[in-house]
Structure 1
Amino acid sequence: MARKNNKSKAEKPIEPQSDVEDLEKDEEELELEKIVFGDLDGFETGLKALDLDNFGDDEGDNDEDGELSDREIEGSDADNDFGAVQDDNLFFVDDSAAAAGMDISDDEDISGSDVDDSDNESDFTDPDSVLDVHGGTAAWIDSDDEKLQVSLKSSDKLKKLRKSLADNVVDGKEYTRRLRSRFEKMYPVPKWARQEEPKSKGKSDSNSSDEEDNDIEMDDSEEPRALTADPLAKLLTTQSTYISKSIPRLLPPSVLDITRLKDANSSLVSKSGVQTLDFHPTHPLLLSGGYDRTLRMYHIDGKSNPVATSLHVRSSPFQTALFHKDGTKVFAGGRRRNLYIWDIETGKVDTITRMYGHEDSQKSMEKFRLSPDGQYIGLIGSGGWVNILSTASGQWVTGAKVEGVIADIAWHKTGNFSNLSIVNTGGDIWEWDSRARKFSDKWKDEGGLGVTTMSIGGKNDRWCAVGSASGIVNVYDRKNPVVGMKLSEAEAPIYKPKAVLDQLVTSISSLQFSPDGQMLAMGSRAKKDSFRIAHVPSFTVFKNWPTSGTPLGRVTSVAFTPGTEMICAGNDAGKARLWKFNHYS
């Protein structure tokens, strides 16, 4: 009957494709399509009837042949809309502890199980291990790999896996190992994924100083973290000195023989302007600090100048940092009420947070000077006060008050004692006797107005240089002062300068005598490359240096080595430029 109907339909004239209606399929054709192509409706119905939670249980209603019973198919939940479910969500992998056959209670941490990790460690570290953590065969192991033969000359990519020219064919296991090795070279295992090796007993933490930071972080309210070992303890016991041994020679007054070295902080550039520089009194170490809240110490060798150690204080930008005379401590402070005393041998840091009874006159520790004998710290305070502290105990010793706003202070030796000179912005200079603890003299800078800084140096601290906002530097002979005209008997005498240096035209911010007293470095941070070196005692500026190509920048700080072998100039870009004087080699 079906053939007859089909024949009658075939005898009808063929109409255009767009107007042809779909031919109806009889039961035989539909049944054949189900066998050959599958039944979409039946597949979706089977998914609806599938109970994932109880699938595979012995107590299920599965037939003996493993197929789902008709009752399961008919009793499926019609409300489940599997058409909206993504394919990757239709299946899941049960990796729970129960599926692994581990008997663990609900309140027990899997990581705290009594399983011995040492037995299974090889399963994770050795990719060729054939056992997984549960004793079965690892999923990535294929027994056919050993039978597989791979030619390493079949393509250019595979040629990279060869270890020698004669290396041609490898089995699948070796092929997998070489692929893994090459991948790990291109994409190394991250540090967090590596297993740390336990430290052997008796091994000092200082041995890992090359891999870890020796920084100490603290703020105003917390104590510094003590270091168990400091890398400088061993360095300070050596007999190493600076690059060249200083031989006292007289410098010519016109030409400066100087050679540029690698930047002192090239191994770790400051993240802000270098506000302070100081060389260690005996060892080749340079201390630098700035507003990035970090003190850095460099081992100066003139070639690589590596970082020796560093100190980071989270809440204190540093303005001044100086080595103590004994070379074992560093005093550092900034525009905060904290003064830090850093023992570079042990790494311990003590903090002077306040001076009881004198808090109103000392609101910041940003500008201070250490006495040549190492006994005192002179702190510039507010209201004309200079507070004197003991370097040994950090306690307040005494104070000296002057008129006006203090511009700078400078210590100098008088016999076996250290005395202090104080200058205000108006050019008035007071001499304070530390032994008698009183003022011994007062005089005035000629034309002194807008004084910014002061420095005392030369043989027996003979010279006193006073810099002003106009860029002029007056140099006075302290041993043979020349008194000028006095305005009145009540006024301080006006001293006549031995020399007037007017090579700079902007405010003087750096003024430093060399330790041998033959040079005076002058710098201004207000203008780029505003830096000069004057010859002492002729007080003529060297004309051959710096040149237009000297990379100075805006000089923010200056320091000489103790033997005057080198000079370092820090700038606002965070660089510490280093030069060597060939006259001393």
Structure 2
Amino acid sequence: MKNKSGQSKTGSKSGQSDMKNEIGQSNTSKERGQEKIKKKIKRSDTMVHTKNFPKQNRKNAKKRPAFSIDTMGNRGKKRKTDAWRKVSYEATNTFVSHKEIRRERELVEDLFGDVDLPEVDAKVKEEEPRSINQLKGDRKKKDADDPYDHHDDRKTAEKKPVWVDEDDDNIRVKDVMANMSKMRGKRGAREVSDERYENMLKEKFELAMGSTPEWAQLDRKIENDSDDEGDFNRRTGNYISSEGPSRLPKSVLEYKMLSDLNRATYAEGAIIKGVEFNPIFQVALVAGFSKTNGSATLFQVDGLHNHKIQTMKFPRFPIKCAKFFRDGRRFVVGSDLYGHFFVYDMEGGKEIKIPWNKSEDRRCMKKFVISPDGELLFFFGSKSLIHIFDTKTLSHIDTLQASEEVTSATFNSSGTRMYTHGNGGDVLTWDINNRQCVQKFYDDGCIDGMSIALSPNNQYLACGSSSGIVNIYDTADLTKDTPLPVKVLDKLVTSVTSLTFNTSSELLAMGSEFKENAFKLVHFPSMTYFTNFPREGTNLARVQVAQFSPNGGYIAAGNNGGTVRLYRLKHYGSY
């Protein structure tokens, strides 16, 4: 049947049943959703979220401990839980076995010192085979390798070179020789040698210096182990050392004859009149003349080759004296034929002519000395005059009048006193600040004074005469009117033309240019001769000038044969 709307009754009933089913399903889904929400709420009630704590509760919330230490031991307390519930800690007598806890423990020890901590349990030892003491030992070993750590374990620690260049192992002698343009093809086996260049340089150094200096030895032992006193002694050196520097033995002189200082040229003239060691660089100056020409050469002092650095020619200017300025970058040469002298600037590579226009003293530049402070230059002229020049401006500033013609002069270490010796045998003492003579005495038994030298320690004054006698005076007795020598040296029989002390005041070299091999070394303070110097058969010829290196390691003697003999004194460790 159809109703009024034209629909059948069966169709309307089926539609109603469908709607009821849909409504029932929606109700069940709603109930299920509500149940899920209720379960979530219940779960959220049971869980603890620190992020949702209010500010007041956050302050009261327990923080997670970094580690747990029970110094009282485990007394059977119940297991406690923290704010996270899942994480539980048990009071133990050791640390938790992981790296972070170990690091924190080391931090506690560094901050608070040695803490009385409990021993590690056997179970933990199995997990941690390395103990705390081992960690301390490893940390000490690590600190010992730290270059900025000022620990003082000098007895057991092995010292290493401060700097090592790995490229040195690849440099060979033949590679270095190939880069040298001069004398190519004349270096023999070295041009094809596969030897390490570093080894060759070490051999050259040991040949020239004797051996490795004590300060450069890595395995040297330092006996004084005190932190305070030992460090202070190492800073001040020999000035407060109880033993002091070793004394030069007086019986036998240990030395070695090296290659001639000017072997690279032999072109400084037939007569060598100037031999000087540079006060700053390991360089020597050799100057001389042949006929009327002068020549000066700079050499690198190594004792083996003594390579030439530069040669300067002075035509028609026979050099009679040559000396370095104190700055080590200039030297001055003088002659007896002209009234001018030359100053050579080594850095600029040029010579400077300093004229002298005094007609009454045209030949006054043959001999001169430089004050210890390097500020004044003294020329010994004729008519008993001493001309003073300023080394900076190279200008004449003053002239001194002596009682007799001056042949030689020397200074005390401070440069305030100058002692002169001259014809007539008088020794004059000059006050350099006031530019006047303050004392005069007669050199005992002297006819004409030829040379004079004062020891660097200002204790002994040596005066050489034309008779071959060298009188040694104690400077404490020079205030007397007629001081007497404490020692008379008479080994030389001709005029003593050269006298010089070494820097330690332990050696005096004296020589004469009027006799072959007239050259002696005297030990101080015993004032005895070294019988083994020079050796028999050594040809020194006629020594014109002699000089010690700044630290006494070398002595050079120039003769009338155009050569400069060079010796290495083994007692002194360096140039």
CA contact (8 A) 2:367 2:379 kept: yes
Q: Residue 345 and residue 425 in structure 1: after superposition, are their counterparts in 2 closer, same or farther (change >3 A)?
A: same
Q: Distance in 2 between matches of 1:271 and 1:363?
A: 21
Q: Residue 297 and residue 559 in structure 1: after superposition, are their counterparts in 2 closer, same or farther (change >3 A)?
A: same
Structure 2: runs of 5+ lacking an equivalent: 1-178, 184-207, 216-244
Structure showing greater Rg: 2
The structure where helix makes up a greater share of residues is: 2
Structure 1 residue matching 2:285: 3-state secondary structure:
strand
Q: Distance in 2 between matches of 1:362 and 1:431?
A: 26
CA contact (8 A) 1:373 1:418 kept: no
Q: Kindly state the Cα deviation for residue 359 of structure 1 after the two structures are TM-superposed.
A: 3.9
The one of 545, 548, 554 aligned to 1:557: 545
Q: Residue 301 and residue 246 in structure 1: after superposition, are their counterparts in 2 closer, same or farther (change >3 A)?
A: farther
The one of 255, 272, 284 aligned to 1:286: 284
Q: Kindly state the Cα deviation for residue 350 of structure 1 after the two structures are TM-superposed.
A: 1.1
Q: Distance in 2 between matches of 1:359 and 1:434?
A: 26
Q: Distance in 1 between matches of 2:513 and 2:546?
A: 11
CA contact (8 A) 2:446 2:467 kept: no
Does residue 439 in structure 1 map to residue 441 in structure 2? no
> What is aligned with 2:348?
346
Q: Kindly state the Cα deviation for residue 509 of structure 1 after the two structures are TM-superposed.
A: 1.2
> What is aligned with 2:528?
540
Structure 2 residue matching 1:479: 3-state secondary structure:
helix
> What is aligned with 1:580?
568
Q: Distance in 1 between matches of 2:466 and 2:214?
A: 35
Q: Residue 249 and residue 345 in structure 1: after superposition, are their counterparts in 2 closer, same or farther (change >3 A)?
A: farther
Q: Kindly state the Cα deviation for residue 208 of structure 1 after the two structures are TM-superposed.
A: 11
> What is aligned with 1:327?
328
> What is aligned with 1:268?
265
The one of 422, 425, 429 aligned to 1:424: 422
> What is aligned with 1:526?
514
CA contact (8 A) 1:258 1:579 kept: yes
> What is aligned with 1:398?
398
> What is aligned with 1:202?
none
For residues 208-262 of structure 1, the C-alpha deviation after alignment (integer angstroms, 9 at most, x for no partner) is: 9959xxxxxxxxxxxxxxxxxxxxxxxxxxxxxx847699531111211111111
CA contact (8 A) 2:376 2:388 kept: yes
Q: Kindly state the Cα deviation for residue 362 of structure 1 after the two structures are TM-superposed.
A: 4.8
For residues 521-575 of structure 1, the C-alpha deviation after alignment (integer angstroms, 9 at most, x for no partner) is: 0111111111100001111011111122222111111010000001011111011
Q: Kindly state the Cα deviation for residue 398 of structure 1 after the two structures are TM-superposed.
A: 1.2
CA contact (8 A) 1:371 1:412 kept: no
> What is aligned with 1:201?
none
Q: Kindly state the Cα deviation for residue 482 of structure 1 after the two structures are TM-superposed.
A: 7.5
Q: Distance in 2 between matches of 1:249 and 1:283?
A: 26
Q: Kindly state the Cα deviation for residue 413 of structure 1 after the two structures are TM-superposed.
A: 3.3
Structure 1 residue matching 2:434: 3-state secondary structure:
coil
Counterpart amino acid of 1:320?
C
Counterpart amino acid of 2:390?
S
Q: How does 1:56-455 map to 2 (within 5 A)?
A: 243=209, 249-269=246-266, 270-292=268-290, 293-335=294-336, 336-355=338-357, 358-414=358-414, 417-455=415-453
Q: Residue 328 and residue 481 in structure 1: after superposition, are their counterparts in 2 closer, same or farther (change >3 A)?
A: same
**RMSD in angstroms over aligned alpha carbons?**
2.1
Select between 566-575 and 440-449 the one with higher mean Cα deviation: 440-449
CA contact (8 A) 1:521 1:532 kept: yes
Q: Residue 412 and residue 576 in structure 1: after superposition, are their counterparts in 2 closer, same or farther (change >3 A)?
A: same
The one of 496, 499, 505 aligned to 1:511: 499
Structure 1: runs of 5+ lacking an equivalent: 1-206, 212-241, 484-492
TM-score, length-scaled by structure 1: 0.55
Q: Distance in 2 between matches of 1:210 and 1:440?
A: 57
Q: Kindly state the Cα deviation for residue 479 of structure 1 after the two structures are TM-superposed.
A: 3.1
Structure 1 residue matching 2:428: 3-state secondary structure:
strand
Counterpart amino acid of 2:464?
G
Counterpart amino acid of 1:252?
P
Q: Distance in 2 between matches of 1:456 and 1:362?
A: 30
For residues 64-85 of structure 1, the C-alpha deviation after alignment (integer angstroms, 9 at most, x for no partner) is: xxxxxxxxxxxxxxxxxxxxxx
CA contact (8 A) 2:496 2:511 kept: yes
TM-score, length-scaled by structure 2: 0.56
Counterpart amino acid of 1:366?
K
Q: Distance in 2 between matches of 1:376 and 1:342?
A: 17
Q: Kindly state the Cα deviation for residue 283 of structure 1 after the two structures are TM-superposed.
A: 1.4
Q: Residue 522 and residue 349 in structure 1: after superposition, are their counterparts in 2 closer, same or farther (change >3 A)?
A: same
Q: Kindly state the Cα deviation for residue 364 of structure 1 after the two structures are TM-superposed.
A: 3.0
Does residue 566 in structure 1 map to residue 566 in structure 2? no
